[in-house]
Amino acid sequence: MKKWINGHFHTMRTKDDIYHTMVTDQGIIVGFDDAVSHITPQETIDLHQCHVYPGFIDAHLHLIGYGRFITLIDLRDVYTKEDVFLTLDKNKDKSMLYAEGYRDLGITKIELDQLIPDKPVFLRHLDYHSLTLNSKALELVKLSSDKGILREEEAMTALKRLPKHKKDELKMMLRHAIKQLYAYGITGGDSDDLYYFNGFDETFSVFDEVLEEMPFRTHLLMHHETITDFVHSGKSWNEQTPFLELGAVKMFYDGTMSSKTARMKDPYRGTNDHGEIVMGKQRFVDTLKRARSLGLTAAIHVIGDQGLDDVAKLLKRFPPKPGQKDRIIHAPWAMKKTIPLLKSLPITIDIQPQFLSADLPRALDYFSKEPELIFPWKTYLEEDIPILGSSDAPVETPNPLLGMKDAIYRESNHNHQAYHLEQSLPPFEAIKLYTTYAHQQHTKTNRGYLDQGMIADFTVSSKDLLTLNKDEWNEPLIEMTIIDEQIVYQKK
């Protein structure tokens, strides 16, 4: 039994529901203040007037992908061709140069060949849907391309033909990722990883084994290409261990903004192009039907407003079993007419507030006409369409404080202007995105609040998140992260 004293425990039931002492036992919250004053614990932890919230959750990220990202060549903060070349040159001793976070700067095969002719070079674009390669790399993956730029399925094929990582390397990447997430106050995440590395079985066992050593509430989406492997594995859906669940079938409806492959109602500026349906509509429908035939839910990547409308109609036509909920991932643009349709569906939407600050205003320049609704989080909430906060790491830094800030202030990182403030969330709702709401796809319901009977997962901040000023959100506020009653992170 542990007694946590001198804290401000925000239950998240209402803004003012705050306690100062909490007792936990065997991973569960026993009670607060007067109700536990008679208890003599084995251990007392002084929280020195810090503020405590239900453990942060990132509802959509790529855990191993993030682990790989923090151990590889990082081009996210590189904005010019010359600096990309400089970074590659610094890494030219590696046997293969694999970089992520590349901001499509127009580099081609010819330029890469001049710089590094003898080793394969892979530049994975920031949106993860495209790849720029040199000749050696194209040779390695047995593909050809004049400019060395591959998009969507072709890029995926190239990645699949890369030499596999050793299982121990994947475990190392996952450990790195979880350790960094602890420092951001994160106690769990819904991750899409089972397809991109060493196949369903080995990747699953990587999670199983690492989570034995490091507690982290993990919910794994199953990429549609892994459904057959899932069926063969004989595993049941949902709960595997107290720290591991198997979730919905991950499918892609359209592409991305930066590749101009998101499916839009109006064409991209200066073109007749409305974006893509990346799998083709028939294959998408067949995949959805297959998921349904196995009793599985869908987790659908969709960015464009037309894409969102299409997906909503398809989910209406092919609903999940009663009681099940599908999830839509991203949905930054919407038509007004899609909202009632979304509202009528058993769905949740994984939103990424940091996409707003990273992509605006540039994304608006791509359009011939501004979409009707732009990152419409307030609309989703008011219409009772459940939204969950996430970072899509490694696309964005998985620091929930930055996501909360963007949900409130809606400011571009580029020009520091705010966009559509009528859609901004109050701080209490912004915090809920990453705490209470983020659990809406989980099997167990005893989480997301600090309350008697809830799991003892919580995040400790040096300041009250409900009353921060704008700049304070950028500070390293996390003092401690607790999972299953264990302190997994403590600031030095």
Question: Which residue's CB is nearer to Zn ion, number 2 or number 125?
Answer: 125
Contact 174, 213 (CB under 8 A): no
Nearest to residue 249, comparing CAs of 313, 318, 345, 334?
A: 318
Distance in Å, CB of 303 to Zn ion, minimum: 11
Question: Which residue's CB is nearer to Zn ion, number 65 or number 185?
Answer: 65
Question: Which residue's CB is nearer to Zn ion, number 310 or number 392?
Answer: 392
Cα–Cα separations (whole angstroms), residue 309 to 70, 179, 304, 352, 376: 36, 38, 9, 19, 14
Question: Which residue's CB is nearer to Zn ion, number 191 or number 459?
Answer: 191
Distance in Å, CB of 69 to Zn ion, minimum: 12
Neighbours of 420 (CB within 10 A): 15
Distance in Å, CB of 256 to Zn ion, minimum: 10
Query: What's the rounded Cα separation, in Å, for the pair 354 and 60?
Result: 12
Nearest to residue 460, comparing CAs of 403, 407, 409, 401?
A: 401
Distance in Å, CB of 315 to Zn ion, minimum: 19
Question: Which residue's CB is nearer to Zn ion, number 59 or number 456?
Answer: 59
Nearest to residue 147, comparing CAs of 177, 174, 176, 107?
A: 107
Position of minimal CB gap to Zn ion: 392
Distance in Å, CB of 73 to Zn ion, minimum: 20
Distance in Å, CB of 377 to Zn ion, minimum: 18
Query: What's the rounded Cα separation, in Å, for the pair 407 and 397?
Result: 15
Distance in Å, CB of 110 to Zn ion, minimum: 31
DSSP string, 229-247: HHHHHTPPSEEEETTEEEE
Question: Which residue's CB is nearer to Zn ion, number 350 or number 406?
Answer: 350
Question: Which residue's CB is nearer to Zn ion, number 30 or number 57?
Answer: 57
Helices (DSSP H) in 244-304: which residue ranges? 281-293
Query: What's the rounded Cα separation, in Å, for the pair 246 and 464?
Result: 34
**Cis peptide leading into 394, omega within 30 of 0?**
yes
Nearest to residue 459, comparing CAs of 404, 417, 394, 411?
A: 404
Distance in Å, CB of 97 to Zn ion, minimum: 24
The SS3 of residue 57 is strand
Question: Which residue's CB is nearer to Zn ion, number 52 or number 308?
Answer: 308
The contact set with Zn ion (CB under 5 A) reads: 392
